[in-house]
Structure 1
Amino acid sequence: MTQAVIVQVGDPARNFSLKDQEDKTFDLYEQEGKRVLLSFHPLAWTEFCAAQMKSLEEKREVLASHNCIPVGISVDSIPCKKAWAKNLGISKTPLLCDFWPHGAVAEKYGLFRDANGFSERANVIIDEKQRVVFVKVYPVHSVPDIGEIIAFLGK
């Protein structure tokens, strides 16, 4: 399988609908008029992913003040994400399940790692008009700096 091209700044957002840890559907195109932070992480129950998702929850109000909805996305299932969110104390941030078809949204954004069966660690920001305005892939064994996202949104 050939590696898909990573989504680029200026591209139209690629719509998707995924269930979150509460079995609620999140549809990207229904968020028009708001900015959306798609925070891709490889797998639940891992140290770096936990810190990444906790940063979204902790900075949720700051992100909201910039008209931005943060969501986490990984290939994990709904029951897995539900237990993980409870374990981490995440109650407001949707943790989306790119479970089946396995990694389809990560693939759509060019962020699926075929060799590993999970996504890159990446942040993608979609603007109010459904265009990609920020893309950054991080080392898998790192925690993205949420301050970088907040600074970008404040420009």
Structure 2
Amino acid sequence: MSGPVPVGATAPDFVLRDQNNQEVSLAALREQGPVLVVFFPLAFTGTCEGELGYIRDRLPEFTADGMSTVAVSVGPPPTHKVWSSAQGFLFPILSDFWPHGAVAQEYGVFDEVRGIPNRGTFLVDRDATVLFSAMVGPGEARTAQTWEAVLGVVAP
């Protein structure tokens, strides 16, 4: 795939372990409502902390109307546990550790050279249809406008 999964496409399903080593299934989350899937390169980096901190600080908006929010990176669950506890992240931080970056690859956001995901942002509805799709590359950060655009799709 060249580029991120586009709007209107079917979102690839996944089952990944969260920071508590519990399995989290996209299909199960979709039963409750739309799911925001946020790929990030690495824990313990300033840009990633800032982006996920934006979600943390506005969590009621990112969980309104049955919406779930999950963040996905290639780090292992124990690393995500320490990081999420230190940062106060109360949403699942999922590990795409092994096979390394497989889910990020399916979503078209894996950086093969660096071995980490780019910052992909996807909103998936109950039927697995992608309602929002965006990606920024290495060294770039998502802006507040990206988050507002996602929230505007959920509650126009």
Alignment TM-score, normalising by the size of structure 2: 0.90
Amino acid at match of 1:122: G
List aligned pairs for 1:34-113, cutoff 5 A: 34-90=33-89, 92-113=90-111
Q: Which residue of 2 aligns with 1:15?
A: 13
Q: Which residue of 2 aligns with 1:125?
A: 123
Structure 1 segments of 4+ aligned residues over 6 angstroms from their partners:
none
Q: Offset of 1:4 from its aligned partner?
A: 4.5
- 1:147 and 2:145 correspond: no
Structure 1 distance, partners of 2:143, 2:79, is 22
Q: Given that residues 123 and 132 in structure 2 are in contact (C-alpha distance below 8 angstroms), is that contact kept between their aligned partners in structure 1? A: yes
- Partner secondary structure for residue 135 of structure 1: strand
Q: Given that residues 4 and 107 in structure 1 are in contact (C-alpha distance below 8 angstroms), is that contact kept between their aligned partners in structure 2? A: no
Structure 1: which 5+ runs fail to align?
Answer: none
Q: Which residue of 1 aligns with 2:112?
A: 114
The C-alpha deviation readout for 1:44-72, integer Å capped at 9, x for no partner, is 11001011111222222112223211111
State the aligned residue count: 152
Q: Cα RMSD between the aligned structures?
A: 1.5
Q: Given that residues 73 and 96 in structure 1 are in contact (C-alpha distance below 8 angstroms), is that contact kept between their aligned partners in structure 2? A: yes
Q: Given that residues 56 and 93 in structure 1 are in contact (C-alpha distance below 8 angstroms), is that contact kept between their aligned partners in structure 2? A: no
Percent of aligned positions with the same letter in both sequences?
28
Q: Given that residues 32 and 129 in structure 1 are in contact (C-alpha distance below 8 angstroms), is that contact kept between their aligned partners in structure 2? A: yes
Q: Offset of 1:5 from its aligned partner?
A: 4.5
Q: Offset of 1:132 from its aligned partner?
A: 0.8
Structure 1 distance, partners of 2:130, 2:7, is 5
Q: Given that residues 45 and 84 in structure 1 are in contact (C-alpha distance below 8 angstroms), is that contact kept between their aligned partners in structure 2? A: yes
Alignment TM-score, normalising by the size of structure 1: 0.91
Structure 2: which 5+ runs fail to align?
Answer: none
Q: Given that residues 44 and 50 in structure 1 are in contact (C-alpha distance below 8 angstroms), is that contact kept between their aligned partners in structure 2? A: yes
Q: Given that residues 138 and 144 in structure 1 are in contact (C-alpha distance below 8 angstroms), is that contact kept between their aligned partners in structure 2? A: no
Q: Given that residues 74 and 99 in structure 1 are in contact (C-alpha distance below 8 angstroms), is that contact kept between their aligned partners in structure 2? A: yes
Structure 2 distance, partners of 1:12, 1:139, is 23
